[in-house]
Amino acid sequence: SRAMSKSGERTFLAVKPDGVQRGLVGDIISRFEKRGYKLVALKLQQVSEDHLRKHYADLKGKPFFEGLVKFMASGPLVAMVWEGLDVVKQGRAMLGETNPLASKPGSIRGDYSIDMGRNICHGSDSVESAKKEIELWFDAKDLCDYKKANDVWVY
């Protein structure tokens, strides 16, 4: 089926340092598990500003760039790869809008955040940027290729 053939799509998600500090890691993982997505990679890590400048290269020159990089390097974050049908787009919908003010209740940002600079999570905005981000954050050997009940009960 179309669903089965597109079920290998992957996205990069991160629980930002504010989400870790506020104890939201389990909730965010749980939302993606319950939706039917498959966890492919996961690590808790405090990363360098240099690494974050690469991750946010497209935003270089924005007035908030330096503050964003410093904030993201200020404590451990949880980097993850999730897999499943339309996971890039669905993941963005589950996160909510960049600005919490525009995020509907029911989304992660809409339920837990009020300030754009403390919006808890990151998700890739396209399949292409997901590929780049997964490569930047993970070694290929750390991406787990395995079967899950999803493959039978979700698709």
Residue set of the binding site for ATP: 16, 64, 92, 98, 109, 119
Is residue 122 close enough to count as binding ligand RTP by CB under 6 A?
yes
Distance CA(32)–CA(15), nearest Å, equals 12
Distance CA(92)–CA(88), nearest Å, equals 6
Between residues 90 and 119, which has the closer beta carbon with respect to ligand RTP?
119
55 is catalytic: no
Between residues 39 and 93, which has the closer beta carbon with respect to ligand RTP?
93
For residue 13, list its beta bridge partners.
Answer: 80, 123
Helix-then-strand count for the chain, H and E: 9, 4
Which of the ranges 44-52, 74-82, 120-128, 134-142 carries the binding residues for ligand RTP, by CB under 6 A? 120-128
Q: Residue 126 phi/psi, 5° resolution?
A: -160, 165
Determine which one of 122, 123, 124, 133 is catalytic. 122
Range 59-98, binding ligand RTP (CB under 6 A): 59, 64, 68, 98
Distance from CA of residue 42 to its chain's centroid?
A: 11
Which of the ranges 25-33, 82-90, 113-121, 147-155 carries the binding residues for ligand RTP, by CB under 6 A? 113-121
Q: Residue 84 phi/psi, 5° resolution?
A: 155, 175
Q: Which residues bind ligand RTP (CB under 6 A)?
A: 59, 64, 68, 98, 116-117, 119, 122-123, 125
